[in-house]
Amino acid sequence: MAIDLNFNEEQQLICNTAKEFFAKRCPPELARKYENSTEDFPRELWKEIADLGWLGMTFPVEYDGLGCSFLDTYGIYVEAGRSLAPVPLLEAIGIGAALVARMGSADQKQALLPAIAAGDKLVTLAIMEPDGSYGANGVTLTAVKQGDGFVLDGTKLLVACAGTADRLIVAARTGGAGEDGVTLFLVDPKAAGVSIERTKNIGGYPLYAVTLAKVAVSAADVLGAVGKAWPATEAVMMQAAVLQSAMVVGAGERVLEIAVGYAKERVQFGQPIGRHQAVQYLCTDVAIALRNTSLLTLHAAWKIDSGQPFLREAALAKASASKASAKMTFAAHEVHAGIGFMIDYDLQLYTMRGKHWEYNLGDARHHYEIAVAQAAA
């Protein structure tokens, strides 16, 4: 019963621990090493994070989780963003495991969640198709009933870590149109008929094109109810969009630090460039976008945490984060000019990953749509 925008002591402790951990274990060189690499991510680092208890934090205790809340994990995402940690926290935990925890049967949860929490198994979502959209209408990959199971045909793009994932959660259409008729399937990427190809991309992420040709999936591998998966899928993606926004906040704090640091040190015309108001303007551009996004994101996280409807708030947060991701890095480049254009300078690492984050789980336009649909209803 207070207005309070501060984390509680435990959450603050998690933030501090995460900040230290990622600073030590994920220097920018690590992010560089895994850019468009043949390996999806450093497995031993993933195991270390599992040992810290961070992977299963929000899982129920009966599946080796800690039963923590959404806000408890918030700081880990902020810090993963700040350090550009090349691990699939968002993809495998914020989305993949969250879908299993929310929609899975007891057997599915038992088979996957403890192993995910231990860092031994990985599940990621395959939703986007060649039309490049995140909405329910974009799900056209067909799933045709055959005997007790289904046969899947179609293409998914920008699928995270398909090279290492034990299961892909493939969104398919079992009938209907729009939000009706979307079904999720747990598919082994090594199954017959599945082909994967890593797509080189601007953020250097392990993103794959996945083609399914007559892939047989058993009824036991349907995740959730047939034809009714969309609302829960959307809810998890919107929650994950808030976590993605938290990563933008962490990265933004680092981008601001880099830009301000450079503006204080770089001398031209006999004085630090940060004394020029044009440069001060650019630095405050970063700071304003960061502050707005930070407030909107924390607010959306609190809505989720306290069990209230959150679509509007999450949409506003991600719309702001998407715009901010582009704006902050652009302004920081303007402060740096030539040096920022150099591949060896770390600012560009944020710029390139920031472009992925801007799009990931829906860009500003996608989320404006959701927010306005809520407001105009």
Q: Residue numbers of the site for other proteins (CB under 8 A)? A: 1-8, 11, 71, 256, 260, 263-264, 271-272, 274-275, 277, 279-281, 283-284, 287-288, 291-292, 295-296, 298-299, 301-303, 305-306, 313, 316, 319-320, 323, 364-365, 367-369, 371-372, 375-376
Using the 8-state DSSP alphabet, how is residue 136 labeled?
G
CB 361 within 8 A of CB 241: yes
**Alpha-carbon distances, residue 50 vs 119, 269, 324 (angstroms):** 5, 51, 31
Nearer to other proteins, 2 or 106 (CB): 2
Nearer to other proteins, 48 or 363 (CB): 363
**Alpha-carbon distances, residue 370 vs 128, 180, 338, 352, 374 (angstroms):** 18, 18, 39, 26, 6
Nearer to other proteins, 124 or 297 (CB): 297
The span from the CA of 13 to the CA of 292, in Å, is 24
Nearer to other proteins, 188 or 369 (CB): 369
**Alpha-carbon distances, residue 229 vs 86, 136, 211, 287 (angstroms):** 30, 10, 21, 39
Which residues on neighbouring strands pair with residue 197, listed in sequence order? 209
Residue with tokens 């899982």: 59
- Shortest spacing between CB 298 and other proteins, in angstroms: 7
- Shortest spacing between CB 208 and other proteins, in angstroms: 31
CA dihedral sign of residues 88, 94, 97, 100: negative
Query: 239, 278, 258, 279: which is closest to 354 by C-alpha?
Result: 258
The span from the CA of 174 to the CA of 224, in Å, is 13
CB 357 within 8 A of CB 321: yes
Nearer to other proteins, 2 or 192 (CB): 2
Residue with tokens 């976590």: 243
- Shortest spacing between CB 181 and other proteins, in angstroms: 24
- Shortest spacing between CB 328 and other proteins, in angstroms: 13
- Shortest spacing between CB 131 and other proteins, in angstroms: 17
Rg (alpha carbons) of the chain, rounded to whole number: 21
Pairing, β 167-173 against β 123-126: parallel
Nearer to other proteins, 235 or 295 (CB): 295
- Shortest spacing between CB 80 and other proteins, in angstroms: 19
Nearer to other proteins, 242 or 283 (CB): 283
Nearer to other proteins, 115 or 260 (CB): 260
- Shortest spacing between CB 280 and other proteins, in angstroms: 4
- Shortest spacing between CB 42 and other proteins, in angstroms: 32
Residue with tokens 């599946």: 63
